[in-house]
Structures are given as structure tokens and as C-alpha cells.
Amino acid sequence: MEYAIQTDGLCKEFDGFRAVDDVSLRVERGAFYGFLGPNGAGKSTTIKILTGLMGPTAGAARVLGADIHRDGLAVKQRIGIVPEDLCLFENLTAREYLTFIGRMYRLPRPVIEERREELLSLLGLESEAKKLLLEFSHGMQKKVALAAALIHDPDLLFLDEPFEGLDALASRTIRLTLERFVGRESTIFLSSHILAIVERLCSHVGIIHRGKLVTEGPLAELAAEGSLEQAFIDLVGEPEQTSRSLSWLEGNG
């Protein structure tokens, strides 16, 4: 089977510290894959490698059947990404930014205009026409990043914490949009700490801890004996951490 994402022995070292340690992932086409792990586990670093933003120090990564580092441009044309630190061009308005992104993907102008207006309307941003992105709130910027990741109708979406900072209405709209997106055999690779959303959306889950992939498989198998939260805590939780407390909160005064 040709996977949407396949990595073998992927490693990334920073000054001798292994942020990603021998990760071998398999993500099937059409999967909604939730990539979980505690803070600092290596999720964003893995996503940066898989989207060609950073090279690995060892191992290989194939994305949509091609080597992301050898055939980077061909792969990048077919993927969309919402990175952790959004990286928008903040001196543009949302319309200007989406037009720029559409042109970067060489979409015809009428297609850009049609999709741009649909995206702005879906995300409730049409009335913010005059504001520059630097004047947008964090949640509004996140919506623009998501619109930019969708405008060229990619085959594979990488979303690093896309729900963080979004209100309940926006979160619902985006959940429904993503469900439709994978319903058409496109693939999503999502990192999130909101396990309730992962449980609701994802077909497959991988958990990374201290750079190592500790489990991977269909959600139903992983959460077979209870909730995803329980499975997560069982796999990565450290008992002394959950029982720790602050000394000055312990007194009864």
C-alpha cells in the first residue's frame, strides 16, 4: 500500500538532544490521523520535517509517495499546513493574504476569488476587510491560516494545534469542514491536546513521548478499554507528576 505519510527511523537532533527519536509512522490515505503527545514530545518538530520546513538528522520521510526532501516542491504543491507559529504576512489584509497564497499555488484568478470569498464567509471574516493581519486577534489569525491551508484544495493537510484559541462556533465550523475534507479521500495529520476533539474526529491516533512513537493505530483500538484520555495517561503519564502539588497550597490556613 502507498501511504499518505511514511517515515522510517526518523530522527532530529538539536545539539545532541534527540527531539524526534527513530519515528516510523504509517498514515493511510483518507485517514484523519491524530498525533498526540505531552508538551515537548516532538510533535511540531515531526510536522516541520514532514512539511519540508526542517531536515531530519537521520531516517527518511515519504509524503504522498515522494521523498519530501528530494522532491520537496512537488510535495509542497499538494499539501496544506497550519504551522504552530502561523507565520502569516502580517502587513496584508486577509483578502490580500489569501490572494497571495492562491497565486503562489498558481491558481487561476477567478478560482482564487471564488474560494477566497467562500472561505472568508465560512470563517466569519468578511467584515474584517480593512484590518491588517497584525491587527487580528489570535483566533482570527488562526482562521486565516486555516483558509490559506485549504485554498489550493490539497490532498494532505498538516494541522498543528488548529483548535487552540478558537471559539466554540469557529471550532464547530472547522470540525465540520475537516470532516468533509477527509470524506473525499483526502488525508489530515493533526496535532492537538484537545482529546475530546481528537476522539470525535480522528480515525487513527499516534502518540509520541520524549521523541519516540509509543503507539499507533485505529482510534477504536487505542481507546478500546475506556477513554482516549485514560489511554493517553496510561502511556505517557508519570505518577509522581500527577500527585505533585504546591507546598503553599497544602496548609489549611
Ligand X SMILES: Nc1ncnc2c1ncn2[C@@H]1O[C@H](COP(=O)(O)OP(=O)(O)OP(=O)(O)O)[C@@H](O)[C@H]1O
Chain residues binding Mg ion by CB under 5 A are 43-44, 84
Expressed in angstroms, the distance from the first to the final Cα of the chain is 64
Please report how close the Cβ of residue 33 comes to ligand X at its closest, in angstroms: 15
Return the residue of 6, 7, 45, 99 that touches ligand X, per CB under 6 A. 45
In the list ligand X, Mg ion, none, the entry touching 41 (Cβ below 5 to 8 angstroms by class) is: ligand X
Question: Does position 87 bind ligand X by CB under 6 A?
Answer: no
Residue number, nearest CB to Mg ion: 44
Nearest distance in Å: CB 48, Mg ion: 9
Among 5, 23, 41, 133, binds ligand X (CB under 6 A): 41
Query: In angstroms, what is the minimal distance from the CB of 162 to ligand X?
Result: 13
Tell me the C-alpha to C-alpha distance, in Å, between residue 14 and each of 20, 55, 192, 211. 10, 12, 23, 12
Element (H, E) at 253: none
Closer CB to ligand X, 116 or 142, in the complex:
142
Please identify which residue in 21, 25, 31, 43 interacts with ligand X, judged by CB under 6 A. 43
In angstroms, give the least distance from the CB of 45 to ligand X: 3
CA neighbor of 190 nearest in space, from 52, 81, 42, 79: 81
CA angle at residue 23 from 208 to 1, to 5 degrees? 110
Q: Which three cell numbers stand for residue 94?
A: 486577509
223: contact with ligand X by CB under 6 A: no
Element (H, E) at 221: helix 219-222
Q: How far is the CB of 40 from ligand X (least distance, A)?
A: 4
222 binds ligand X (CB under 6 A): no
Binding residues with ligand X: total (CB under 6 A): 10
Report the C-alpha dihedral over residues 66, 67, 69, 70, rounded to 10 degrees: -80
Other Cβ atoms less than 10 A from the Cβ of 85: the count is 8
Q: How many helical (H) and strand (E) elements, i.e. helices and strands, does the chain have? A: 10, 11
95 binds ligand X (CB under 6 A): no
Please say which residue, 98 or 208, places its beta carbon nearer to ligand X: 208
> Which residue number, 13 or 153, has a Cβ lying nearer to Mg ion?
13
Distances from the Cα of 159 to the Cα of 43, 48, 87, angstroms: 11, 11, 13
Find the binder of ligand X among 1, 2, 16, 39 (CB under 6 A).
Answer: 39
